[in-house]
Protein backbone atom coordinates (compact mmCIF):
# COMPACT_ATOMS: atom_id res chain seq x y z
CA UNK A 1 0.00 0.00 0.00
CA UNK A 2 1.57 3.20 -1.16
CA UNK A 3 1.90 6.07 1.26
CA UNK A 4 0.03 9.17 0.21
CA UNK A 5 1.88 12.25 1.32
CA UNK A 6 0.77 15.78 1.73
CA UNK A 7 3.04 18.79 1.42
CA UNK A 8 5.97 18.50 3.82
CA UNK A 9 5.31 14.87 4.64
CA UNK A 10 8.01 12.22 4.41
CA UNK A 11 8.31 8.48 4.40
CA UNK A 12 11.19 6.05 4.90
CA UNK A 13 11.60 4.14 1.68
CA UNK A 14 13.81 1.54 3.32
CA UNK A 15 11.07 0.79 5.83
CA UNK A 16 8.29 0.69 3.30
CA UNK A 17 10.25 -1.50 0.92
CA UNK A 18 12.95 -3.45 2.74
CA UNK A 19 15.89 -4.33 0.56
CA UNK A 20 15.22 -1.44 -1.82
CA UNK A 21 18.19 -0.64 -4.04
CA UNK A 22 16.75 1.36 -6.90
CA UNK A 23 13.66 3.47 -7.46
CA UNK A 24 11.83 4.87 -10.41
CA UNK A 25 10.46 8.33 -9.75
CA UNK A 26 7.43 9.20 -11.85
CA UNK A 27 6.27 12.72 -12.56
CA UNK A 28 2.83 13.27 -14.01
CA UNK A 29 0.25 15.85 -14.97
CA UNK A 30 -2.78 16.00 -17.19
CA UNK A 31 -2.52 17.29 -20.71
CA UNK A 32 -4.22 20.53 -21.50
CA UNK A 33 -7.85 19.99 -22.41
CA UNK A 34 -8.60 23.56 -23.34
CA UNK A 35 -7.55 25.30 -26.52
CA UNK A 36 -4.32 27.24 -26.63
CA UNK A 37 -0.65 26.51 -26.46
CA UNK A 38 0.13 23.11 -24.98
CA UNK A 39 1.71 22.92 -21.55
CA UNK A 40 5.18 21.47 -22.04
CA UNK A 41 6.41 20.41 -18.64
CA UNK A 42 9.95 19.25 -18.08
CA UNK A 43 11.22 17.14 -15.24
CA UNK A 44 14.72 17.79 -13.98
CA UNK A 45 16.84 16.34 -11.20
CA UNK A 46 19.43 17.94 -8.94
CA UNK A 47 22.01 15.93 -7.03
CA UNK A 48 22.75 18.07 -4.01
CA UNK A 49 25.45 18.08 -1.38
CA UNK A 50 24.87 18.81 2.29
CA UNK A 51 24.91 22.55 1.50
CA UNK A 52 21.96 22.06 -0.82
CA UNK A 53 23.99 22.81 -3.96
CA UNK A 54 25.10 20.78 -6.95
CA UNK A 55 28.74 19.72 -6.80
CA UNK A 56 29.07 20.64 -10.47
CA UNK A 57 26.81 21.30 -13.43
CA UNK A 58 27.00 17.59 -14.21
CA UNK A 59 24.77 17.00 -11.16
CA UNK A 60 21.94 18.71 -13.00
CA UNK A 61 20.09 16.02 -14.95
CA UNK A 62 17.53 17.26 -17.45
CA UNK A 63 16.42 16.87 -21.05
CA UNK A 64 19.82 17.93 -22.41
CA UNK A 65 21.85 15.90 -19.89
CA UNK A 66 20.00 12.69 -19.31
CA UNK A 67 22.47 10.87 -17.08
CA UNK A 68 24.43 11.98 -14.04
CA UNK A 69 28.22 11.77 -14.24
CA UNK A 70 28.28 8.68 -12.05
CA UNK A 71 25.41 7.00 -13.91
CA UNK A 72 23.23 6.63 -10.80
CA UNK A 73 20.48 8.94 -12.06
CA UNK A 74 18.93 8.55 -15.52
CA UNK A 75 16.24 10.72 -17.00
CA UNK A 76 13.74 8.76 -19.10
CA UNK A 77 13.26 11.52 -21.64
CA UNK A 78 11.02 14.40 -22.44
CA UNK A 79 7.29 14.09 -22.86
CA UNK A 80 6.04 17.15 -24.65
CA UNK A 81 2.36 17.06 -23.87
CA UNK A 82 1.49 15.00 -20.80
CA UNK A 83 -0.45 12.57 -22.99
CA UNK A 84 -1.13 9.09 -21.74
CA UNK A 85 -1.98 7.64 -18.37
CA UNK A 86 0.41 7.32 -15.51
CA UNK A 87 3.84 8.88 -15.41
CA UNK A 88 4.64 11.47 -18.02
CA UNK A 89 8.33 11.51 -17.25
CA UNK A 90 10.37 9.07 -15.23
CA UNK A 91 13.76 9.16 -13.57
CA UNK A 92 15.62 6.02 -12.58
CA UNK A 93 17.71 6.33 -9.45
CA UNK A 94 20.12 3.61 -8.43
CA UNK A 95 20.22 4.47 -4.75
CA UNK A 96 23.25 2.27 -4.10
CA UNK A 97 25.18 4.12 -6.80
CA UNK A 98 24.48 7.66 -5.62
CA UNK A 99 27.84 9.19 -4.57
CA UNK A 100 28.28 9.40 -0.82
CA UNK A 101 28.61 13.18 -0.81
CA UNK A 102 25.20 13.59 -2.44
CA UNK A 103 22.77 14.03 0.42
CA UNK A 104 19.62 14.80 -1.51
CA UNK A 105 18.21 14.20 -4.95
CA UNK A 106 15.59 16.82 -5.74
CA UNK A 107 12.96 16.46 -8.46
CA UNK A 108 11.76 19.60 -10.12
CA UNK A 109 9.25 20.29 -12.83
CA UNK A 110 9.23 23.44 -14.90
CA UNK A 111 6.92 24.82 -17.53
CA UNK A 112 8.76 25.37 -20.77
CA UNK A 113 8.51 28.92 -22.09
CA UNK A 114 5.96 29.71 -19.40
CA UNK A 115 6.26 33.47 -19.50
CA UNK A 116 5.84 33.78 -23.24
CA UNK A 117 2.94 31.37 -23.17
CA UNK A 118 1.44 33.03 -20.10
CA UNK A 119 1.27 29.71 -18.32
CA UNK A 120 1.65 28.71 -14.71
CA UNK A 121 1.23 25.61 -12.60
CA UNK A 122 -2.17 26.83 -11.49
CA UNK A 123 -3.43 25.93 -14.96
CA UNK A 124 -2.04 22.41 -14.84
CA UNK A 125 -4.29 19.69 -13.48
CA UNK A 126 -3.47 16.67 -11.34
CA UNK A 127 0.28 16.98 -11.03
CA UNK A 128 1.92 14.29 -8.93
CA UNK A 129 5.19 12.69 -8.07
CA UNK A 130 5.45 9.05 -7.08
CA UNK A 131 8.22 6.69 -6.12
CA UNK A 132 8.11 3.07 -7.20
CA UNK A 133 10.39 0.19 -6.40
CA UNK A 134 12.44 -0.43 -9.55
CA UNK A 135 12.61 -4.14 -8.71
CA UNK A 136 8.90 -4.92 -8.72
CA UNK A 137 7.24 -1.72 -9.99
CA UNK A 138 5.24 -1.30 -6.79
CA UNK A 139 4.38 2.21 -5.76
CA UNK A 140 5.90 3.19 -2.43
CA UNK A 141 4.89 6.80 -2.03
CA UNK A 142 2.86 9.38 -3.89
CA UNK A 143 2.28 13.09 -3.54
CA UNK A 144 -0.53 14.89 -5.34
CA UNK A 145 0.43 18.54 -5.61
CA UNK A 146 -2.52 20.05 -7.37
CA UNK A 147 -3.67 22.23 -4.49
CA UNK A 148 -0.15 23.24 -3.52
CA UNK A 149 0.69 25.33 -6.51
CA UNK A 150 -0.65 28.52 -7.95
CA UNK A 151 1.11 30.96 -10.26
CA UNK A 152 4.56 29.38 -10.10
CA UNK A 153 6.38 28.34 -13.26
CA UNK A 154 8.86 26.00 -11.57
CA UNK A 155 8.27 23.57 -8.75
CA UNK A 156 10.26 21.17 -6.64
CA UNK A 157 7.84 18.27 -6.41
CA UNK A 158 9.80 16.13 -3.96
CA UNK A 159 13.20 14.81 -2.96
CA UNK A 160 14.98 11.65 -1.97
CA UNK A 161 17.33 12.19 0.94
CA UNK A 162 19.65 10.22 3.13
CA UNK A 163 18.75 9.49 6.70
CA UNK A 164 21.71 7.60 8.06
CA UNK A 165 21.98 4.51 5.94
CA UNK A 166 18.37 4.80 4.79
CA UNK A 167 16.74 6.77 2.04
CA UNK A 168 13.63 8.77 2.67
CA UNK A 169 11.30 10.61 0.35
CA UNK A 170 9.80 13.98 1.15
CA UNK A 171 6.87 15.80 -0.48
CA UNK A 172 8.15 19.32 -1.09
CA UNK A 173 5.73 21.30 -3.25
CA UNK A 174 7.91 24.39 -3.28
CA UNK A 175 7.32 26.77 -6.14
CA UNK A 176 9.49 29.35 -7.87
CA UNK A 177 8.84 32.06 -10.36
CA UNK A 178 11.24 32.24 -13.29
CA UNK A 179 11.13 28.71 -14.64
CA UNK A 180 13.97 26.26 -15.02
CA UNK A 181 16.68 28.92 -15.00
CA UNK A 182 15.60 30.20 -11.59
CA UNK A 183 15.28 26.72 -10.23
CA UNK A 184 18.68 25.59 -11.49
CA UNK A 185 20.30 28.81 -10.28
CA UNK A 186 18.81 28.23 -6.85
CA UNK A 187 20.73 24.97 -6.62
CA UNK A 188 24.01 26.47 -7.80
CA UNK A 189 23.88 25.44 -11.44
CA UNK A 190 25.52 27.89 -13.82
CA UNK A 191 22.87 28.81 -16.33
Partner 1 sequence: MQAFQTGQKSPLSHLTTSNLLTISARVTGPAAEYDLSLFGLDASGKLSDDRYLVFFNQPATPERAVQMQSGARGEKVFTIDLQRLPQTIRRLSLTATVDDGTFGQIDHAEITVSADGRPVASYRVTGRDFQQERAVMLFDVYFKDLWRVGAVGQGFNGGLEALVRHYGGEVADRPGPTPPRPAPNAAPTPPRPSPSPPPAPATPPAPPINLKKITLDKKGESTRISLKKPGHAEPIRVNLNWDRGGKRSGMFGRITAAADLDLGCMFVLNDGQRGVIQALGNSFGSERLLPHILLDKDDRTGAALDGENLTIFRPDLIHTVLVFTCIYEGTNDFTQVGARLSLKDPQGNEIAVHLSNPDIQRTFCGIALIENIGGEIKVTKEERYFVGAQQCDEHYGFGFRWVAGSK
Q: Which positions lie near partner 1, rule CB under 8 A?
A: 32-36, 118-123, 146-147, 149-151
DSSP run (H or E) holding 128 = strand 128-133
Looking at the Cβ atoms of 17 and 172, the one nearer to partner 1 is 172
Among residues 72 and 174, whose Cβ is nearest to partner 1?
Answer: 174
For residue 25, give Cα distances in angstroms to 45, 54, 106, 178: 10, 19, 11, 24
How far apart are CB 122 and partner 1 at their closest, in Å?
2
Give the nearest distance from C-beta 119 to partner 1 in angstroms: 8
Compute the C-alpha angle 154/176/54, nearest 5°. 80
Q: Least Å distance between CB 171 and partner 1? A: 15
**What residues contact 124, with CB distance under 8 A and at least 6 apart?**
29, 30, 39, 41, 111, 146, 149
* Closest separation in Å from C-beta 151 to partner 1: 5
In the complex with partner 1, the residue whose CB is nearer, 14 or 123, is 123
Amino acid sequence: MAVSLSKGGNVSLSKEAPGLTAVKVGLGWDPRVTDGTEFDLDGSVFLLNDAGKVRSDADFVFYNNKTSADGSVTHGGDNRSGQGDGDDETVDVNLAGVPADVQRVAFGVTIHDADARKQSFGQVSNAFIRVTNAADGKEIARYDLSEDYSTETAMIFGELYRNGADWKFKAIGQGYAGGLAALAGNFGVNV
